[in-house]
Amino acid sequence: AQSVTQPDIHITVSEGASLELRCNYSYGATPYLFWYVQSPGQGLQLLLKYFSGDTLVQGIKGFEAEFKRSQSSFNLRKPSVHWSDAAEYFCAVGSTSGTYKYIFGTGTRLKVLA
Amino acid sequence: DVKVTQSSRYLVKRTGEKVFLECVQDMDHENMFWYRQDPGLGLRLIYFSYDVKMKEKGDIPEGYSVSREKKERFSLILESASTNQTSMYLCASISGGTTFGGAFFGQGTRLTVV
């Protein structure tokens, strides 16, 4: 069955520090993988996506993510966090065959210290 | 500008009422989804539809049904609203086939059942 795990519910980092948010998935093949961000009171915005090819993908706002098939992971990274990055981040998995089931993890809330 | 529009931003309904949540997209997407978002639980998939009149249950379909009579419209129905269905409901649409990509979300409907 298709599933997504984000093991960290909350993460706190200082402004300027690096960031890594973890995402693990379960799927029978290589799925489509996505990261979204939701700022308070806002809708979800797509940060980046992975379909195939280069396992390191670049997204908006300086984010990147690396797909590691051996670890079933798709971790999100940013070298230097800005206060405006404080938000909730969701990893999502889309099925690559049949009907396009699309499911989300439980989210990681990021707090940025000035 | 692409749009996914949910009919109501806020709704208050009484226990036992039949509730309709409407979602319309203007992108000619095949795939549409209904999620509910609750703190700490992320976005949970209720139902999705991959074509007109086609639907599949998501992870939490109990107490809900859906209707997709036209490609652009996907309705979520709470047959008999209960207080545990108080939540934020998000509709999303996604293109299919080789253009399968990120989800476009509506602004959400915050439903309160009293």
Instruction: Please list the ranges in chain A whose pLDDT falls under 70.
Output: 98-99
User: Rounded distance, CA B114 to CA B109, Å?
Assistant: 16
Interchain CB distance below 8 Å, B102 and A43: no
pLDDT for A2 equals: 82
pLDDT for A75 equals: 98
User: Rounded distance, CA B53 to CA B49, Å?
Assistant: 8
- A30 close contact with B: CB closer than 8 A: no
Chain B: give the shortest CA distance to residue A95, in Å.
10
If you measure CA to CA, which chain A residue comes closest to B102? A46
Contacts of A20 (CB under 8 A, 6+ apart): A75, A76, A77
pLDDT for B1 equals: 65
pLDDT for B3 equals: 87
If you measure CA to CA, which chain A residue comes closest to B99? A51
pLDDT for B99 equals: 56
Interchain CB distance below 8 Å, B42 and A6: yes
For each successive 10 residues of chain B (114 residues), what is the average pLDDT? 87 97 93 93 93 92 97 96 97 74 88 98
User: Rounded distance, CA A102 to CA B90, Å?
Assistant: 13
Containing H/E element for A13? Answer: strand A10-14
Listing DSSP states for A20-67 in one string gives EE--EEE-SS--EEEEEEE-TT--EEEEEEE-SS-SEEE-GGG-EEEE
Chain B: give the shortest CA distance to residue A69, in Å.
20
